Amino acid sequence: MMVLLRHQRYMTALLSSTTILLLLYFQNYMLVLTYGSYGLISKKVPCACSICVTDRENSNWFSEQYDPNIPLLLNSTNGVLHANVSRWWKELQSSAGNYTEVVDQLFPLFPDKEHYSDAGPDRCRTCAVVGNSGNLLGSNYGPLIDFHDFVMRINKGPTEGYEKDVGSKTTHRIVYPESAVDLDNSTHLVLLPIKILDIQWLISAFTTKNITQTYTEVPSTIKANKDKVMILHPEFIRYVYDNWAEGHGLYPSTGFLSLIFALHICDKVNVFGFGATRDGIWHHYFEKILTSYENSIHAGRFENETINRLQRENKIVMHKGWT
């Protein structure tokens, strides 16, 4: 009898152990299956889109260029510039003012907080970066552009009268003083500061209105929502120059900076109005004057090659209107 009981206890223990081993086996099997079909379930998902810009594992080239820790916008916690950034930025200016004094005036005026720190596996933020190329004319992209969560426009590119092709929605407009235009109350004014005077102009435009001249005439004031003002960080500008333009040109173009900015705050990026027309002509959709992507300041050819590389690496989708 005792032998029988010991045998039953042995069989029970053996069955329990076998059950646990089988459970572990199937758990591992499911883990491998999940990995083979959809990606390892323990892997941190960067966003809720089907393809996420910030997924750095699907492009070695992108991973080498992209720095997720770079400061994008100026605020009081990151306002002190690294020496190498300060030297490079000041070399772009003919007469540099006192940066410390200027930013001390800046932060009390405009929102002093961290923006766009809400990235995560539940977010799928779609962004349209809208350039000013003539290839937008006749594209009928308006509804598609307006469908995005964020619509970023560059410099003076208008919407009125061009809604069918360029849309009417604007959430961000990236400008410098010489390209500034009035904005509605829902649009973020994103200042591209190439010089300290640009920041001084921004302060003046909302206070004393005494700056009317830089290297050319600029508006003394601007219609914009003060609570939606942002300033691109000089370190971000330097980062785009070093990592993405790879030192070509004097500093990156507004369009190129806007696109890289979008890569950092968006999960899915669609690009409109970049490049030439079907006939290889470079001009703005709102004027007849011919333009060129290559000049003494911006390395347009290299920027264009980088943008095309981003498309090949599935980081952006280019919409050229005529394709």
Active-site residues: which are they?
251, 298
Report strand pairing: 172-175 vs 317-319. unpaired
247 is in an annotated binding site: no
255 is in an annotated binding site: yes
Q: Which residues contact 13 (CB under 8 A, 6 or more apart)?
A: none
- In the 3-class helix/strand/coil scheme, how is the chain assigned residue by residue? CHHHHHHHHHHHHHHHHHHHHHHHHHHHHHHHHHHHHHCCCCCCCCCCCCCCCCCHHHCHHHHHHCCCCCCCECCCCCCCCCHHHHHHHHHCCCCCCCHHHHHHHHHHHCCCCCCCCCCCCCCCCEEEEECCEHHHCCCCCHHHHHCCCEEEEECCCCCCCCHHHHCCCCCEEEECHHHCCCCCCCCEEEECCCCHHHHHHHHHHHCCCCCCECCCECCCCCCCCHHHEEEECHHHHHHHHHHHCCCCCCCCCHHHHHHHHHHHHCCEEEEECCCCCCCCCCEECCCCCECCCECCCCEHHHHHHHHHHHHHCCCCEEECCCC
275 is in an annotated binding site: yes
- Whole-angstrom distance, CA of residue 138 vs CA of residue 135: 8
93 is in an annotated binding site: yes
Instruction: Give yes or no for a contact between 275 and 135, defined as CB atoms under 8 angstroms apart.
Output: yes
142 is in an annotated binding site: no
Instruction: Give yes or no for a contact between 136 and 285, defined as CB atoms under 8 angstroms apart.
Output: yes
Could you report how far apart the first and last alpha carbons of the chain are, in Å?
86
251 is in an annotated binding site: yes
155 is in an annotated binding site: yes
Annotated binding site: 93, 132, 155, 215, 251, 255, 275, 284, 298
Annotated binding site for substrate: 93, 132, 155, 215, 251, 255, 275, 284, 298
